[in-house]
Structure 1
Amino acid sequence: MMLDVKFEYVNVPSCKDFKTAFKNALSKVKTVEKLLKISVFAASESVESYLENVSFTKEEIKERFGLHAVEVSYVAQNTLHAELAIELVYANDTSTVLYKTLGGVSYVIVRAENKKMLLISGLIGDDKQSINEQSNAVFKTIEGIFSLENMAISSIVRQWNYIPDITKMENNFQHYQQFNDARSLFYEKTSWGKGYPAATGIGTKNAPLLIDVIAMEGHKEELPLHNSKQIDAHIYSDDVLLGIKEQSLKKRSTPKFERAKLIIENSGASVFVSGTAAIMGEESLALDNAGNQTDITIDHIENLVAKGLSKTYRFRLIPEFESVRAYVKNLSDYTVVRQVCEKRLPGVPVVYVEADICRDELLVEIEAFVKI
């Protein structure tokens, strides 16, 4: 059921402002039936304009989609292949989709037989608070929805964490480390027998913290996938963590995510590939060479997908990349990153955005959703 989803993309080549571009993009959306998720990628001029545009997207979605209105995730990242890009996720035709709200927060439930999927999108923090405070507040909202739906926090299989100025240091606290500490405290509320979620932690500009999650229950099997060439991020040594820890913790927290998550059903399987970069063991590679970093990153992704194929060989001989995002740190590296992606992943739709990676020396990060 659940992972029989499809992705569609709308790109607006050029437009005078965000609102016009967003309206233009929505006019090209073919259907809203069984729409689960909308992610909008566009640069933000300021936090104030970001919040204004978020309100605008909510109003437009409600007006155009009515009962099928979903929360929009406005990701404040400059799109490199267009002025604005929209990623839409749809459920398959046999599932039942329910649109719900809690405390003004919209979320989506998908049901089929004994299976259930929960999607929460567009949860933003208060930019006047620290990253730690924003994270705690957003996680509290997530916990409330999970409690209402009687779902375990450990049912999260995919999480996106958009962190403003991700590598910035403030009073010896690093933004990314502050988020990791808050996430660890949230995750401690449950056990993770099937592994942590697949996840992306990536930078944004002129926006508050933003988190999206997908959770699942009732599927046949769920496995974390490991890359033998990389140490799992959740067991990194303290040597690669930056900034001081939060007072409530004994030590700095590692990033709690798996390299990829394999979801197996009777009729097929899918892999959520986490945000992946040119890291060997726990050390960054190919410094100052975006093309080489992209090649290494795709090697890692192919390794993870091959691991998934080895466990589900009866479904597909060739993996099908449904969705790929490439986060590029420097605008000047966009062309070479795109050239490598098009060579290595021919015909695959890729969203290219400008974003800071979780380490200053990393120039590109790539994530994927793959049917196997």
Structure 2
Amino acid sequence: MTISANAMIADPGHLYFSYIRPTNAALQSLSSEEGLLGIVTFRTDFWREDDGTTLEGILQISLSGRGDDLCEIWQTTQPVVAGKVGDITYRCSRDFLFGSIALTAADVPAGNHRGLIVPPLQSCAELAYKQIFSLLDHHGYPDLLRIWNFIPDINGVSHGLEHYRQFNIGRQDAFLACGRFLEKQNIPAASALGSIDGPLVVYFLAARHKSVAVENPRQTSAYHYPREYGPSSPTFSRAGWIDLGQQKVLFISGTASIIGHQTRYGGDVAAQTRESMANIAAVIAETNRVAATTSLYDLNDLSYKVYLRHITDLPIVRAELDLLVTPAAPVFYLQADICRQDLLVEIEATAGMLMDGMA
């Protein structure tokens, strides 16, 4: 398969992201910029106005607060307007929409489906995704490019089922109900990590123009996982690629030490890091094939976000990555639980839109 002509865009806007150090003055300045789509920080004790409200456009996710003291800035070259629909806060330009939703399981009562109790977290996931799809359909941003999910106590168990598996049921039910599971080429790249407490948080990037999903020949497509991984398989692609004319953007999903559908190198974080990067290299090769070029991307062209189950593994993981990618490649480390208990590290990556590196 190669990219079809309808993936090309006439006169698109440009999309950028960067990592910056968290200073209140910098955040206040950015929040008023014309092209700001959003700011993501992974701690909840920063950047509040004098009355306690959060600065506009800033999403705060409750992780452990350990890791690199950085936040993500998402921007476009187009003017941006802010909005709120239901539980979703968003900012959008002519071509892009960046939004977030947070739902607390405690506020959603357990439902009943065909005589079975539906856990609140499952209901939260289904409701969150249905709201996202409704927003995108209403405003005309049909393509969900990239989505990030932060699930409270992701490996915990309630109602007889692991929280990540509850989330997967709700997410897939929303894809099915909204007709988004019919064409696998439109399933977005995604990550799913554990937050320490609080709500289910989902943030996402959508566009008016179609991207192309990319799979990894070394791995079973996540939506084809066998039932041993839960009643519903995870609904995401291994990567998404979009041609914005002069800008070619690649989103690689959270990637771990999995071959086929099985975890490899349990308990060995160094080997898991190497295997994760081998999977990313395979996704890059497949993207280059799909895009009909042999040299569009390589490992040194990407910026990385690395999630560690144990922050004490940071020196080991950093040493492995130092051998595999150039020191100039931006790498952002965070502590978070991973979707499988035998996984110690997960790595996501992007290419084609980094602006200014880490400031």
Question: For this structure pair, what is the TM-score category when the shorter chain's length is used for normalisation?
Answer: 0.7 to 0.9
Query: Contact conserved, 2:12 with 2:245, CA < 8 A, in 1?
Result: no
Instruction: Tell whether 2:84 aligns with 1:106.
Output: no
Aligned to 1:76, the other structure's residue is in SS state coil
Amino acid at match of 1:170: S
Which residue of 41, 64, 70 maps to 1:85?
70
C-alpha separation in 2, matches of 1:288 and 1:173: 24
Q: Shift of residue 55 of structure 1?
A: 8.9
Residue pairs, 1:274-289, within 5 angstroms: 274-289=253-268
Instruction: Tell whether 2:333 aligns with 1:355.
Output: no
C-alpha separation in 1, matches of 2:20 and 2:102: 23
Residue pairs, 1:12-23, within 5 angstroms: 12=22, 23=24
Which residue of 311, 323, 334 maps to 2:303?
323
Aligned length: 326
Query: Contact conserved, 1:167 with 1:176, CA < 8 A, in 2?
Result: yes
Residue pairs, 1:106-255, within 5 angstroms: 106-111=89-94, 116-121=95-100, 123-128=101-106, 129=108, 130-152=120-142, 155-188=143-176, 189-191=178-180, 192-193=182-183, 194-219=185-210, 222-241=211-230, 252-255=231-234
What CA deviation, in whole Å up to 9, does each residue of 1:329-354 have, x standing for no partner?
01221111122223323212222111
C-alpha separation in 2, matches of 1:2 and 1:339: 39
C-alpha separation in 2, matches of 1:315 and 1:5: 24
Q: Which 4+ stretches in 1 moved above 4 angstroms?
A: 27-31, 52-58, 313-320
Task: Quote the sequence identity (%).
Answer: 25
Residue 41 (structure 1) aligns with: 42
C-alpha separation in 2, matches of 1:172 and 1:228: 34
Q: Which has the higher contact order (CA 8 A, sep 6+)?
A: 2
Residue 312 (structure 2) aligns with: 332
**Structure 1 residues 218 and 53: alpha-carbon distance in aligned structure 2, compared to 1, 3 A threshold:** closer
In structure 1, stretches of 5+ residues that fail to align are: 13-21, 45-49, 62-68, 242-251
Query: Contact conserved, 2:124 with 2:170, CA < 8 A, in 1?
Result: no
What CA deviation, in whole Å up to 9, does each residue of 1:253-297 have, x standing for no partner?
100111111112333422110000000111101111111111111
Residue pairs, 1:335-346, within 5 angstroms: 335-346=315-326
C-alpha separation in 1, matches of 2:337 and 2:217: 26
What CA deviation, in whole Å up to 9, does each residue of 1:227-247 have, x standing for no partner?
111111100011233xxxxxx
Q: Which moved more, 1:143-152 or 1:187-196?
A: 143-152
Query: Contact conserved, 1:276 with 1:366, CA < 8 A, in 2?
Result: yes
Query: Contact conserved, 2:27 with 2:47, CA < 8 A, in 1?
Result: no
**Structure 1 residues 317 and 216: alpha-carbon distance in aligned structure 2, compared to 1, 3 A threshold:** closer
C-alpha separation in 1, matches of 2:301 and 2:282: 14
**Structure 1 residues 56 and 89: alpha-carbon distance in aligned structure 2, compared to 1, 3 A threshold:** farther
Give the structure-1-normalised TM-score: 0.79
Amino acid at match of 1:331: I
Amino acid at match of 1:258: S
What CA deviation, in whole Å up to 9, does each residue of 1:181-224 have, x standing for no partner?
111111012144223111101111022100012222235xx322
CA RMSD, 1 decimal: 2.9
Instruction: Tell whether 2:273 aligns with 1:273.
Output: no
Query: Contact conserved, 1:329 with 1:356, CA < 8 A, in 2?
Result: yes
Residue 4 (structure 2) aligns with: none
Query: Contact conserved, 2:221 with 2:237, CA < 8 A, in 1?
Result: yes
C-alpha separation in 2, matches of 1:56 and 1:196: 41
**Structure 1 residues 26 and 327: alpha-carbon distance in aligned structure 2, compared to 1, 3 A threshold:** same
**Structure 1 residues 32 and 321: alpha-carbon distance in aligned structure 2, compared to 1, 3 A threshold:** farther
C-alpha separation in 1, matches of 2:138 and 2:33: 26
Query: Contact conserved, 1:260 with 1:273, CA < 8 A, in 2?
Result: yes
Amino acid at match of 1:133: S
Instruction: Tell whether 2:60 aligns with 1:74.
Output: yes
